[in-house]
């Protein structure tokens, strides 16, 4: 469960972009270029319950840079969704509780109710990016980072990521009693 303190210290996407030291223009471009179809817009408009999305991430992480703009677009469309971002470096102690296989992964996306209780969780990257990483022939960390940066600009990967988030938004809405 997220504590009020973390939610209260987390910032909006607009403020995240203002504070970011890296990749600001790339995140803005990904936000502006993301195509959301009418069905997804209608689905987001039909959300019945208040859902808070807390992202633990950083502007230095290629996965955060690739996914946060998608969540921000969802937030801009859905009236019942509120997005906040918590810097993973400045909040490392809090971030520690979301380890996967003993490692801190970024971003961590928490779908919360209005009491800030966790409904769903999404970690690190979309399935398509995991597939790409597992099939990659470049073993260097720098090579993988460059490849991921390029991958997240691919409209098909953006759609797959959007679809994963849409499923979790709907799941959260159903958990909260969507009729």
Tell me the pLDDT of the chain (179 aa) as tens digits: 445 679 999 999 999 999 999 999 999 999 999 999 999 999 999 999 999 999 999 999 999 999 999 999 999 999 999 999 999 999 999 999 988 888 899 999 999 999 999 999 999 988 877 777 776 665 677 777 788 888 888 999 999 999 999 999 999 999 999 98
**pTM, full prediction:** 0.92
d(C-alpha 164, C-alpha 173), whole Å: 14
Q: Are strands 118-123 and 108-112 parallel, antiparallel or unpaired?
A: antiparallel
- The CATH superfamily assigned to 4-175 is Glutaredoxin (3.40.30.10)
């Amino acid at each position: 469960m997220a504590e009020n303190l973390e939610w209260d210290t987390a910032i909006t996407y607009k403020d995240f972009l203002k504070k970011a030291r890296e990749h600001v223009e790339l995140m803005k471009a990904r936000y502006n270029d993301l195509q959301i179809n009418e069905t997804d817009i209608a689905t987001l408009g039909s959300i019945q319950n208040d859902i808070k999305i807390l992202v633990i991430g950083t502007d230095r992480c290629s996965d955060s840079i690739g996914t946060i703009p998608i969540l921000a677009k969802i937030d801009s469309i859905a009236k019942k969704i509120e997005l906040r971002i918590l810097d993973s470096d400045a909040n490392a102690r809090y971030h520690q509780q979301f380890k996967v296989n003993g490692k801190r992964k970024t971003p961590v996306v928490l779908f919360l109710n209005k009491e800030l209780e966790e409904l769903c969780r999404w970690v690190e990257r979309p399935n398509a990016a995991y597939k790409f990483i597992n099939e990659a022939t470049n073993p260097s960390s720098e090579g993988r980072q460059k490849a991921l940066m390029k991958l997240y600009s691919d409209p098909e990967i953006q759609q797959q990521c959007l679809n994963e988030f849409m499923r979790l938004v709907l799941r959260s809405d159903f958990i909260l009693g969507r009729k």
